[in-house]
């Protein structure tokens, strides 16, 4: 951005002309896509690895899938309430392990714990009952993820497909086999609900996305940032008379999400010529929104580089809409309420016992 002297600029990326957006208002304009000028841009690279889940669909198909999944992810849904017990147990185990060791690789530790949490939440796997299956799934999801980051840049040259990529496709098939088996036998919890909400193939493909390494990686990134920046907020009385100050915790988390969002942003492709933030975007151009840059836009956040949880005190919903940690607009993250539940339920234990 410094080189281009603009928060919106064009460059070649992954062999395609791409417009990068780091202006907070322009990112909102892109994500709300008032005139339906864009499609999601992930299918071009990751479709083979992930299949037909919501993140890779567009138009009416995406609207219908979102509608069907909507209730499963609402804060008041039984399916989320049932999660409380699992989240509490995983939080306790996370703290116990951390306290029992002399030193710990924080991110790696959280990734292991959150992977197990996702397998428990979305596949109903209790890791104390199925240690071997849990281990196999964790290994497969890692191999699957490595395929995502080894995806060849030019998919039009299939003979360039790397061995990491083909191993990932094999891991995907194995994961799908296990998912199918779980769906066949599921009588309660999330697997049973998703089975009722979606056609069987859609349920399988979306579960593959939910248990993939993406979600645990993002969750552990947030947890790690929260713990590693504790010197910036530990002077605040987060626990008063043994009780956690929930609104202060929320302000700290919003500020953590602003300064260290787990994903760089997201990708779209223009299906028609259009303008975003005054910048002309020709048809078929890719657009990448940079959440981190938009969060540091001084027009949106005064003193953007400073860690100031107090900026979120008494904030309105429109202030929160300037955060793109979970995307925004009609294609925002359907898992964000669940993420907030996980953070709010697991962090009090971590804060009380560790800091």
Contact set with ligand HEM (CB under 6 A): 54-55, 62, 66, 209-210, 215, 218-219, 222, 262-263, 266, 325-327, 331, 333-335, 338-339
CB of 8 to ligand HEM, least distance (A): 17
Pick between residue 178 and residue 218 the one whose CB is nearest to ligand HEM: 218
Pick between residue 59 and residue 298 the one whose CB is nearest to ligand HEM: 59
Pick between residue 147 and residue 261 the one whose CB is nearest to ligand HEM: 261
CB of 93 to ligand HEM, least distance (A): 19
CB of 235 to ligand HEM, least distance (A): 26
Q: Which residues pair with 21 in a beta bridge?
A: 8, 289
d(CA 175, CA 178): 5
Q: Which residues pair with 16 in a beta bridge?
A: 13
Task: Give every CB contact of residue 8 below 8 A, 6+ residues apart in sequence.
Answer: 19, 20, 21, 22, 23, 26, 276, 277, 278, 279
d(CA 121, CA 210): 10
| Residue for token pair 């080189």 | 3
CB of 137 to ligand HEM, least distance (A): 15
Q: Which residue's CB atom is positioned nearest to ligand HEM?
A: 335
CB of 63 to ligand HEM, least distance (A): 9
Pick between residue 274 and residue 290 the one whose CB is nearest to ligand HEM: 290
Pick between residue 107 and residue 239 the one whose CB is nearest to ligand HEM: 107
Q: Is 244 helix (H, G, I), strand (E, B) or coil?
A: strand
Q: Do 345 and 91 form a contact (C-beta atoms < 8 A)? A: yes
CA dihedral sign, ordered 107, 110, 115, 118: negative
Pick between residue 197 and residue 222 the one whose CB is nearest to ligand HEM: 222
Pick between residue 61 and residue 188 the one whose CB is nearest to ligand HEM: 61
CB of 149 to ligand HEM, least distance (A): 17
Task: Give every CB contact of residue 139 below 8 A, 6+ residues apart in sequence.
Answer: none
Pairing assessment for the beta strands 286-290 and 16-21 based on DSSP bridges: parallel
CB of 16 to ligand HEM, least distance (A): 16
Pick between residue 46 and residue 307 the one whose CB is nearest to ligand HEM: 46
CB of 53 to ligand HEM, least distance (A): 7
DSSP one-letter string for 166-178 = HHHHHHHHHHHHH
Q: Do 54 and 69 form a contact (C-beta atoms < 8 A)? A: yes
CB of 114 to ligand HEM, least distance (A): 9
Pick between residue 134 and residue 215 the one whose CB is nearest to ligand HEM: 215
Give start and end residues of each alpha helix (H) in the chain: 24-32, 43-50, 59-70, 78-81, 83-100, 106-123, 131-149, 163-185, 189-197, 200-210, 214-228, 230-233, 246-259, 291-295, 317-320, 336-354
Task: Give every CB contact of residue 354 below 8 A, 6+ residues apart in sequence.
Answer: 95, 98, 99, 227
């Amino acid at each position: 951005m410094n080189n281009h002297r603009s928060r919106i600029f064009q460059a070649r990326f992954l062999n395609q002309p791409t417009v990068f957006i780091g202006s907070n208002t322009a990112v909102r304009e892109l994500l709300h896509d008032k005139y339906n000028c864009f499609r999601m841009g992930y299918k071009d690279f990751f479709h083979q690895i992930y299949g037909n889940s919501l993140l890779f669909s567009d138009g009416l198909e995406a609207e219908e899938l979102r509608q069907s999944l909507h209730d499963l992810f609402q804060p008041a849904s039984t399916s989320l309430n049932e999660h409380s017990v699992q989240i509490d147990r995983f939080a306790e185990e996370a703290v116990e392990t951390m306290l029992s060791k002399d030193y710990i690789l924080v991110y790696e530790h959280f990734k292991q714990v959150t992977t197990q949490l996702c397998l428990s939440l979305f596949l109903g796997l209790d890791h104390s009952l199925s240690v071997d299956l849990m281990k196999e799934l964790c290994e497969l999801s890692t191999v699957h993820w490595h395929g995502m980051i080894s995806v060849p840049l030019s998919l039009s040259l299939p003979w360039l497909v790397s061995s990491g990529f083909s191993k990932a496709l094999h891991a995907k098939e194995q994961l799908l086999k296990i998912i199918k088996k779980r769906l066949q036998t599921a009588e309660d919890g999330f697997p049973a609900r998703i089975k009722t909400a979606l056609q069987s193939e859609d349920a399988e493909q979306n579960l593959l996305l939910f248990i993939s390494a993406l979600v645990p990686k993002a969750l552990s990134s947030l947890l790690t940032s929260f713990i590693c920046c504790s010197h910036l907020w530990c002077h605040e009385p987060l626990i008063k008379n043994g009780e956690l100050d929930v609104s202060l915790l929320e302000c700290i988390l919003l500020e953590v999400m602003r300064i260290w969002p787990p994903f760089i942003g997201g990708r779209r492709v223009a299906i028609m010529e259009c303008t975003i933030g005054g910048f002309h975007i020709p048809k078929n151009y890719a657009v990448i929104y940079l959440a981190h840059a938009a969060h540091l836009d001084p027009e949106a956040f005064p003193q953007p580089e400073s860690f100031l949880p107090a900026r979120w005190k008494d904030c309105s919903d429109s202030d929160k809409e300037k955060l793109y940690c979970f995307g925004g607009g009609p294609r925002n993250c359907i898992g964000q309420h669940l993420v907030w539940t996980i953070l709010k339920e697991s962090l009090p234990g971590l804060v009380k016992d560790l800091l």
